[in-house]
Amino acid sequence: MVSKALLRLVSAVSRRRMKLLLSVALLAYVASVWGNFVNMRSIQEHDELKIESKIEEMVEPLREKIRDLEKSLTQKYPPVKFLSEKDRKRILITGGAGFVGSHLTDKLMMDGHEVTVVDNFFTGRKRNVEHWIGHENFELINHDVVEPLYIEVDQIYHLASPASPPNYMYNPIKTLKTNTIGTLNMLGLAKRVGARLLLASTSEVYGDRRNEEVREQDGNQREKNHRNRNSPKCNPEVHPQSESYWGHVNPVGPRACYDEGKRVAETMCYAYMKQEGVEVRVARIFNTFGPRMHMNDGRVVSNFILQALQGEPLTVYGSGSQTRAFQYVSDLVNGLVALMNSNVSSPVNLGNPEEHTILEFAQLIKTLVGSGSEIQFLSEAQDDPQKRKPDIKKAKLMLGWEPVVPLEEGLNKAIHYFRKELEYQANNQYIPKPKPARIKKGRTRHN
């Protein structure tokens, strides 16, 4: 009896121990499985973080592009006046991405007109008009006026042509084509659609002149000038230059491609007016300056400002006694619009009659910039006009126009713009250098 009881007790204890051992083993197994699960989970989370990080790196540029696109779609344009259908004009500006053309674009857009800019970007820049891209009243066309253009417009401002000596002397045949074939194409367009055309001519049509002033000439003096016209040392002149002065241009000099190109363009305008009844306006533009000028286009203003800002010598060609009359670009734009909308079909001078010598101008820019640059005298450029001063009596009388921006105020604006441009160029590892008014020799040109 006792032995049986002991056996039952032992077996009961063994069963409890077995259960306990099984429980411990089960707990150990569960703990092991849970540990493996936690480890796998942490590894998975780490991998997921890596993947998310890589996805984020790839998506961020796309997000940036979407933000830029949204910004462009919600771009704020300069304030534009609302015009009714009968007052709003469809206006074409050739060379509208250039220095003067872009400022004219701004004015006409803000006045509420529909503006189409045509430019082949030889000297024009998209940057000059990019603030209008996307506006419902604005269109930009990459086109060379040497090729025909078919478009419906009410007015044409024909400004297309390189205007600084290094640019128009770089490819003289192309300059001639732009001013002749390009003008013919624009006159043909004006004839087809019944548009009025304004030609941006130049004071260069007056050519060179002597230093002494001759304001009135009697019959004997005119005859004497006519006899002496063949003399290379004689430059018949009227100073200041009025629209009635026919000019004295060297037809075979380095500047002839531009000077004679503009002269024949004027002839074409009046031929179309007389023969085809096309409404034409001709603006003879004198020296103009302001923001958006090319920094290294070789003109007096840009050269002097750039050299003064960079602490380089201001280069004066010749003695510096040559005179120029500089107008600010906003004055010119107002004059062009006034002329286009007037009844004046004969040529009109648009310039500032305030005359300065090149040397005076260099010293003024030195003072305004606060530069310690020296003035360096170089040999005189061939066919460089000795005197430039417009007679603007006609513009005052018939257009009610005259320059209003003081020279120093305009120069300060131009200097501020050039400073910003230099900062921009420096960030892009490019430092512009002024170009001398010289033709490049030995360079292949494509016509």
Cα–Cα distance for residue pair 145/124, rounded to 1 Å = 13
Cα 204 → chain centroid: 22
More confident site: 37 or 216: 37
Cis amide bond preceding 240, omega within 30? yes
Cα–Cα distance for residue pair 126/253, rounded to 1 Å = 33
Q: 237 falls in which pLDDT band (50, 70, 90)? A: low
Cα–Cα distance for residue pair 142/119, rounded to 1 Å = 5
Q: Quick one: pLDDT at residue 440?
A: 42
For the whole model, what pTM was predicted? 0.74
Residues 132-158 have a mean pLDDT of: 96
Q: Quick one: pLDDT at residue 49?
A: 73
pLDDT in tens, 164-187: 877 878 889 899 999 999 999 999
Residues 72-76 have a mean pLDDT of: 65
- Averaged confidence pLDDT in the chain: 83
| Catalytic residue flag (residue 157) | no
Q: How many CB atoms lie within 10 A of CB 133?
A: 14
pLDDT in tens, 375-398: 888 887 766 667 778 999 999 999
- Output the 3-class SS for 64-99: HHHHHHHHHHCCCCCCCCCCCCCCCCEEEEECCCCH
Cα–Cα distance for residue pair 150/79, rounded to 1 Å = 30
Residues 105-120 have a mean pLDDT of: 97
Cα–Cα distance for residue pair 429/420, rounded to 1 Å = 14
Would you list the DSSP string of 291-318? TT--TTS--HHHHHHHHHHTTPPEEEET
Pairing assessment for the beta strands 114-119 and 280-285 based on DSSP bridges? unpaired
Q: What's the N-to-C CA distance of the chain in angstroms? A: 130
Percent of the chain exceeding pLDDT 70 equals: 79
State yes or no: pLDDT of 149 exceeds 80. yes
Catalytic pick among 168, 258, 272, 317: 258
CA 125 vs CA 100, 130, 265, 329, 430: distances in Å: 12, 9, 24, 17, 17
Would you list the DSSP string of 179-230? HHHHHHHHHHHHHHHT-EEEEEEEGGGGB---SS------HHHHHHHHHHTT
pLDDT in tens, 304-341: 999 999 999 999 988 888 888 899 999 999 999 999 99
| Side chain identity at residue 339, one-letter code | L
Percent of the chain exceeding pLDDT 90 equals: 50
State yes or no: pLDDT of 229 exceeds 90. no
